Structure 1
Amino acid sequence: MAMEINSSAFADGGSIPTRYTCQGADVSPPLAWSGIPPEAKSLVLIVDDPDAPDPKAPKRTWVHWVLYNLAPDSGGLAEAVEDLPPGSGEGLNDWGRTAYGGPCPPVGRHRYFHKLYALDTVLDGLVRPTKAQLEAAMTGHIVARAEFVGTYEKH
């Protein structure tokens, strides 16, 4: 069985409900995953937007959420999660803080990639890493990967 990530709040490729954006409650959506390989020791979740600032002329990937050392048997995260599972760590998003930051595109409809990685190790020694620092620490340890995309445009 291949590793999968999804949300009960929106379909893959579908529109992210306003509740999970800067125009709503700005809380994290419920996420579920399955098919985690037996050799996985930890999971990493990265949510980012490659369409910033304008999908017609993207200049950078904006990072919304960085989580690591999630337990392989956790099964997912509840909506508006505040207390992460024990042992989990949070990295810095592009607002310079930890925690979820919802979609808030300045112009156009953006894509938001929810990327889940299964690692053959638990990552030690990280303190509020950026996405780039986390990706560097993951190098050579990824045993499976899944992604799920939502879209959003301000109204």
Structure 2
Amino acid sequence: MQKIATAALCLAAGFALVAPAAAAPAPLTLTSTAYKNNGNIPDKYSCAFDHKAGNDISPPLAWAGGDVKAESYALVFIDTSNGGKHWAAWDIPAAATGLPEGLKKGYDLAEPELKGGHQRAMGNASVNEQFFGPCPRSKHKYEFTLYAVKVKNLPGVNKNSKVADVEAAAKKAAVGQAKLAGFSTAKP
């Protein structure tokens, strides 16, 4: 009986040595070549660039999906200092790995690699279909949140939706998320 118990222990120890350790899942990541996480957002991407709020140049963004299986992506840009929901893009194709600098104006994203995607910003009709960058006049923290979503098209979101509607739909359908934060003191 003791020989059987010793053999069982050796066998168990052998399996422990042979079995590979389970790798942690690769996380979804979001970066920009324009600024580092928790760095300063350059004025080029704010109201300071053209001295008026809205219709700003969007920064270049890149992401890696890690082990997340997304059907599409959504992005939301908010002022975390006051909760202001500045801009959102959604229904970004799953094959996309980022957004180029300076997205064109329009509800439908015009860039070929983003076909099927849409955008919406805060503000009136003259500025609500293009990136709406920082314009805080004092130091505020802003965040891009990238949502990997389990559907190709966010349900209940359309041309008349607000950024908050996109954010709520993206949160509900999310299978992963990543954030990129930055600070701005831009003034018009």
TM over 0.5: yes
TM range (shorter): 0.7 to 0.9
Q: Where do 5+ consecutive residues of structure 2 fail to align?
A: 1-25, 51-55, 105-109
Quote the residue 1:57 is aligned against: none
Rg comparison, structure with higher value:
2
Q: Is the CA contact (8 Å cut-off) linking 2:86 and 2:163 kept in structure 1? A: no
The Cα shift of 1:136 comes to 3.4
Quote the residue 2:74 is aligned against: 44
How far, CA to CA, are the matches of 1:28 and 1:139 in structure 2? 22
| Aligned mate of 2:98, from 70, 73, 76 | 76
Pairing 1:3–2:28 present: yes
Quote the residue 1:121 is aligned against: 151
For residues 42-61 of structure 1, what are the alpha-carbon distances to aligned partners after superposition, in whole Å with 9 as ceiling and x for unaligned?
Answer: 10000010213xxxxxxxx1
For residues 58-105 of structure 1, what are the alpha-carbon distances to aligned partners after superposition, in whole Å with 9 as ceiling and x for unaligned?
Answer: xxx1122111010122110111121241110123x2214121011100
Distance 1:101 1:138, change over 3 A: closer
Structure (1 or 2) with the greater helix fraction: 2
Quote the residue 2:133 is aligned against: 102
Q: Relative contact order (C-alpha < 8 Å, sep 6+): which is higher?
A: 1
Distance 1:30 1:154, change over 3 A: same
Percent identity over the alignment is 30
Q: TM-score, normalised by structure 1?
A: 0.84
Structure (1 or 2) with the greater strand fraction: 1
Distance 1:136 1:51, change over 3 A: closer
Task: For 1:113, give the aligned amino acid.
Answer: E
How far, CA to CA, are the matches of 1:24 and 1:95 in structure 2? 18
Distance 1:136 1:10, change over 3 A: closer
Q: Where do 5+ consecutive residues of structure 1 fail to align?
A: 53-60
Quote the residue 2:39 is aligned against: 14
The Cα shift of 1:139 comes to 4.9
How far, CA to CA, are the matches of 1:16 and 1:137 in structure 2? 27
Q: Is the CA contact (8 Å cut-off) linking 1:42 and 1:69 kept in structure 2? A: yes
